[in-house]
Amino acid sequence: MSLPKMAKKLPAKDDQFTITSQVQNKDGWINHPLDEKLRANNDGKLRQIPVRLLFNDPALNLRAEYTLFDRQTGRPLCVGDGEQCQRRTNNGVEQLACPSPDRCPLAQGGACKPYGRLYVNLSEDDELGTFVFRTTGFNSIRTLAARLSYFSAVSGNKLSCLPLQLTLRGKSTTQSYRTPIYFVDLTLRDGVTLKDAVQDAVAIDRELGEHGFDQAALEAAAKQAIAIHALRLIATTYWMWSKSSIP
């Protein structure tokens, strides 16, 4: 949803998605081949992306914390959930109370923001590969969390088998002075009804199980990886699409 500014390589808001690789040059992140392919089917503006989720557990697909970044290095200084936080101090990384941004002295001036990462699969060539949508937008995080919860409920916890798409939406509010602000929504793909999506998800889940695919083991492995990853602070700073691995 955002692109790096060329001069300082800082993120800039945009009205479309950009899918990048993990490779940079002097001008910034290099676009992934999928970006051009999907853009050709969307009249140049990439505002819808067909996706598949790897996990049935909503918490594995979307992770969000309050994060305070060092603007000089791009590294996180503090990551918290409103109750506990991991903070970089002169003594290393310490576990401290997290009062939330409104009541934290370090967060004055809007320096600490919610930081969300949605992990999705975009390519059938790598069925366990993931791309990451990163955002500090509260509207996007709240919308994605709600959609994941709803789709998980109606499908009987079969998120990984649903045909979904990310859609960039715009809205105007009094706080935005009627200027459009953009957020990301998660919906069924165009032309697919909820009834058909759920029926197909049940059939796909059954078929995968019959062929020996162990979804529960995959999710257990992901939870273990996340637990290990949580021992150190997140070092990713660019709020854009990028090819990644779990977590």
pLDDT in tens, the chain (247 residues): 543 333 344 445 677 888 888 888 887 888 888 888 888 877 778 999 999 999 999 999 999 999 998 877 777 889 998 899 888 888 878 889 998 888 888 888 788 989 999 999 997 778 888 999 989 889 999 999 999 999 999 999 999 999 999 999 988 877 766 778 889 999 999 999 999 999 999 999 999 999 999 999 999 999 988 877 665 544 333 333 344 444 4
Q: What is the pLDDT of residue 142?
A: 96
Q: What is the pLDDT of residue 5?
A: 34
Count of CB atoms situated within 10 Å of the CB of 206: 12
Ramachandran area for residue 122 (φ above 0: left; ψ -120 to 50: alpha; else beta): alpha
Q: What is the pLDDT of residue 2?
A: 43
136 and 183 Cβ atoms separated by less than 8 Å: no
Q: What is the pLDDT of residue 14?
A: 74
- What does the alpha-carbon distance between residue 235 and residue 231 come to, in Å, rounded to a whole number? 12
8-state DSSP, 231: T
Q: Which of 107, 119, 157 is nearest to 236 (CA)?
A: 119
**Does an H or E element contain 145, and which?**
helix 138-154
Q: What is the pLDDT of residue 13?
A: 67
Compute the half-sphere exposure of residue 22: CA atoms within 13 Å on the CB side of its CA: 7
Pairing of strands 164-171, 84-89: unpaired
- 162: phi then psi, degrees, rounded to nearest 5: -90, 140
Q: What is the pLDDT of residue 230?
A: 60
pTM: 0.82
Token pair of 165 as six digits: 């798409």
Q: What is the pLDDT of residue 176?
A: 63
Cis amide prior to 247 (ω within 30 degrees): yes
- What does the alpha-carbon distance between residue 206 and residue 145 come to, in Å, rounded to a whole number? 26
Q: What is the pLDDT of residue 194?
A: 98
Token pair of 84 as six digits: 């506990």
